[in-house]
Amino acid sequence: MAKYLAKRIFYLILTLFIVITVTFFLMKLLPGTPLTNQAKLSKSQIALIYEQYGLNKPVWQQYLLYLAGAVKGDFGTSFQFSDQPVSYLISSRIGPSLQIGLQAMVVGVVIGIIVGAFGAMKQNTWVDSTTTVVSILGISIPSFVLAVLLQYYLGLKAGWFPIAEWGGFIYTVLPTLALGAQPLAESARFVRTEMVDVLSSDYIELAKAKGLSKTGVIFHHALRNSLIPLITIVGPLAVNIMTGSMVVENIFSIPGIGEQFVKSVLTNDYPTIMGLTIVYSFMLCVVLLFTDILYGIVDPRIRITGKAN
Amino acid sequence: MDNDKNILEVRDLQVNFKTYAGDVKAIRNVSFDLRKGETLAIVGESGSGKSVTTRTIMGLNANNADIASGTIKYKGEDLLKKSEADMEKIRGQDIAEIFQDPMTSLDPTMKIGRQIAEPLIIHKGMKKEKALAQALEMMKLVGITDAENRINDYPHQFSGGMRQRIVIAIALINYPEILIADEPTTALDVTIQAQILNLMKELQDKISTSIIFITHDLGVVAGMADRVAVMYAGKIVEYGTVDEIFYNPKHPYTWGLLSSMPTLDTGGDELPSIPGTPPDLLDPPKGDAFAARNAYALKIDTEKEPPFFKVSDTHYAATWLLHPDAPKVTPPEQIVERQKKYAAMHKELLAQQRTQGPVEEEEEKQ
């Protein structure tokens, strides 16, 4: 296990390096400069600022300098908020994003499993059709549309939840729902399909022949086996939530990193773009590593360690 | 026939499957008895209704199955009238089942000890530790080597033969009255087949269970069964003791099955087979369902279904050939030879009885 983890961490660092490299050069291809909107600055002032931030050097030198800094843990200072190190900017804003992201993931997947399992158990009944419609809606409605609908109906009309801003659990409900709809729909669809398959398999027949009740069969045998393929989509779902959060955080004015990411791209805030890219790719890598380990826990056939026969 | 010796009595069972095309008449009037401690083999080709029969007994038919008529009496009670909750109590406790494919019939994500112990936990309300201890004993009984160390292994760590032993352990852990074995050796290679069959026979003696043995392989039947029922197109066409079916078969379908089974005496270049395919049970043919594939078919076979004709007290066959007015036909060569063997065996048996007869009488006098 330790050997496996070491290998995976090495791959994680390699992945981050590639992501940094690709993003750095792509970012330099973006139109405009950090000072595009600063028309009042004179040419010499601009040159001075370029000098100060090292933007006058060739791109490959900038890249190497950035790498050298990153290795030492120095991710530069934000262009937009002068004197704010990127690391501080991110660490002060990551909390709300993590909270909403995790809440959306957990709520979405857990409810998705329940909905999917019900659909499979009541296959070809109105329960099944309803769950199918719900999952199709959840998959096809973009989170930002849902966010606005939730704001209007549950926030403005019903008045149950605050429409926007940040300040406690109640403020997280609507963004969580908006972000969680897609994981919910995807996992419901996956669990339903898989469970229909599992329920017609031989070992379920054997479980019934043992005298297990319907619920006993579901909880002791069907559920665990149906969840295995769900783990595969946890990674993509995490990506979904991360990208969704960029827009949803803007809609709900949540002071998170998603909102910050969008702003930094719009203003060509190079260090912030780079810093956030690293954070996002790191989170994704961790999610993927986590799912691979989870696989082994749920499915003994692909356990990483264990007695070889 | 002594009725209290029967542990299971199936009468006039009819099962249809509702499909978009119409009702598939999978079981058409099947009746049979299972006696205490015996092994009854139900033989027939795929689609003849063997598995549907056993699933109906277990109450595990698919949702679209419709039991049109019949009774299945177990210990005097009709299983078909039982509620689902009552059937749950019977399954795995009184009636257990072994399935065809050991590679897929174990839960891949559950330790095998737990899987074997599960019926004890459900039916006897046993604590997990105690049930696992008993599961360990059962593992030893079915011949899993190094059972202590393997109780926490998962199914994928076992070979096919070992997995079937585990399935047998699961089925027998509650010492069921009836064990239904649905082609338990079909998915195994021949040497393992023999091991599993021996194990089943050995355990049958130990825990005195009755077995319904479903197979399409007559070769397996010979060493295993006490009585044989031959099924074709949802009906039983002939039944009798294993000797009667093997050496004195009367139904042309049984002739076909036996002729297409290679034996040590089989000569010639080509193994005979039964021409054609079984009829479509969506619309079963009038008369004898086997008539279209039967070289010995009479005109009446296409018009009227043959009733059971008695061959002996234990041997019945549903073919018009046994009618007193039917023309005499000569069965295939192989069958004639089998019947000759049977006659010889019979003579021997009679001779034995004659020599034994007076001795018994003397004993009685004393």
B106/A212 touch (CB, cutoff 8 Å), yes or no: no
What average pLDDT does the segment B289-299 reach?
86
- Does B170 have pLDDT greater than 90? yes
What homologous superfamily does CATH list for B1-94+176-331?
A: P-loop containing nucleotide triphosphate hydrolases (3.40.50.300)
Q: Three-state SS across chain A?
A: CHHHHHHHHHHHHHHHHHHHHHHHHHHHCCCCCCCCCCCCCCHHHHHHHHHHHCCCCCHHHHHHHHHHHHHCCCCCECCCCCCCEHHHHHHHHHHHHHHHHHHHHHHHHHHHHHHHHHHHHCCCCHHHHHHHHHHHHHHHCCHHHHHHHHHHHHHHHCCCCCCCCCCCHHHHHHHHHHHHHHHHHHHHHHHHHHHHHHHCCHHHHHHHHCCCCHHHHHHHHHHHHHHHHHHHHHHHHHHHHHHHHHHHHHHCCCCCHHHHHHHHHHCCCHHHHHHHHHHHHHHHHHHHHHHHHHHHHHCHHHCCCCCCC
Spatial separation of the C-alpha atoms in residues A101 and A108, rounded to whole Å = 10
Write down the pLDDT at residue B359: 45
CATH superfamily of A86-302: MetI-like (1.10.3720.10)
The reported pTM is 0.80
Cα distance from B281 to chain A (closest Cα, Å)? 23
Q: Where are the domains of chain B?
A: 1-94+176-331, 104-175
Q: State whether A301 and B118 contact (CB < 8 Å).
A: no
Substitution target from A203, A225, A228 for chain B, most B beta carbons within 10 A:
A203
Q: With contacts defined as CB-CB under 8 Å, which chain B residues touch A202?
A: 99-101, 104-105
pLDDT averaged over every residue in chain B: 87
Does the distance separating the beta carbons of B90 and A300 come in below 8 Å?
A: no
Whether A213 has its CB under 8 Å from any CB of chain B: the answer is yes
Give the total residue count for chain A: 309
Tell me the residues of B at the A interface, defined by beta carbons under 8 Å apart. 58, 60, 85, 88-93, 96-97, 99-101, 104-110, 118-119, 122-123, 154, 156-157, 167, 170-171
A215 touches chain B (CB under 8 A): no
Amino acid letter, residue B252: P
pLDDT at A304: 54
Using the Cβ of A299 and the Cβ atoms of chain B, whether some distance falls under 8 Å is answered with yes
Residue A171 above 80 pLDDT?
yes
C-beta atoms of A221 and B110 within 8 A: yes
Selected residue with higher pLDDT from B73 and A158: B73
Give the closest of B93, B107, B167 to A211, CB-based.
B93
A208: contact with B, CB 8 A cutoff: yes
Closest-CA residue of B relative to A206 is B105
pLDDT tens, A178-223?
Answer: 999 999 999 999 999 999 999 999 999 999 999 999 889 999 999 9
pLDDT bin (cut points 50, 70, 90) of residue B157 is very high
Res B177 pLDDT > 90: yes
More confident residue, A165 or B315: B315
CA-to-CA distance for A286 and A282, rounded, in angstroms?
6
Q: Cβ A203–B104 below 8 Å, yes or no? A: yes
CB–CB of B135/B173 below 8 Å? yes
- Element at B349 (helix H, strand E): helix B333-365
Buried b (16+ CB within 10 A) or exposed e, A17-50: eebbeebbeeeeeeeeebbeeeeeeeeeeeeebe
CB B179 within 8 A of CB B97: yes
Size of interface A-B (CB pairs under 8 A): 77
Q: What is the pLDDT of residues B209-247, one digit of tens each?
A: 999 999 988 888 888 899 999 999 999 999 999 999 998
Contact A274, A24 (CB under 8 A): yes
Rounded distance between C-alpha atoms, residue B39 and residue B225, angstroms: 5
ipTM of the complex: 0.84
Question: Out of A27-41, A140-154, A185-199, A264-278, which region has the weakest mean confidence (pLDDT)?
Answer: A27-41
CA distance B207 to B141: 11
Q: Is A210 an interface residue toward B (CB < 8 Å)?
A: yes
Lowest pLDDT segment from A23-32, A244-253, B27-36, B349-358: B349-358
Domain ranges of chain A: 34-74, 86-302
Report, as an integer, the average pLDDT of A73-77. Answer: 84
Interface of A with B in 137-196 (CB under 8 A): none
Nearest by CB to residue A211, choosing from B106, B119, B156, is B119
Give a three-class secondary structure readout of B211-267.
EEEEECCHHHHHHHCCEEEEEECCEEEEEEEHHHHHHCCCCHHHHHHHHCCCCCCCC
pLDDT top residue among B347 and A64: A64
B105 vs A298: CB contact, 8 Å cut-off? no
Q: Please determine, for residue B307, whether its predicted confidence score (pLDDT) is greater than 50.
A: yes
pLDDT at B2 over 60: no
Residue B3, pLDDT > 70, answer no
Q: Position of tokens 């009479």?
A: B298
For residue A152, give the nearest of A168, A174, A125, A167 by alpha carbon. Answer: A174
Range of weakest confidence among A49-53, A271-275, B240-244, B358-362: B358-362
Judged against a pLDDT cut of 90, whether residue B117 lies above it is answered with: yes
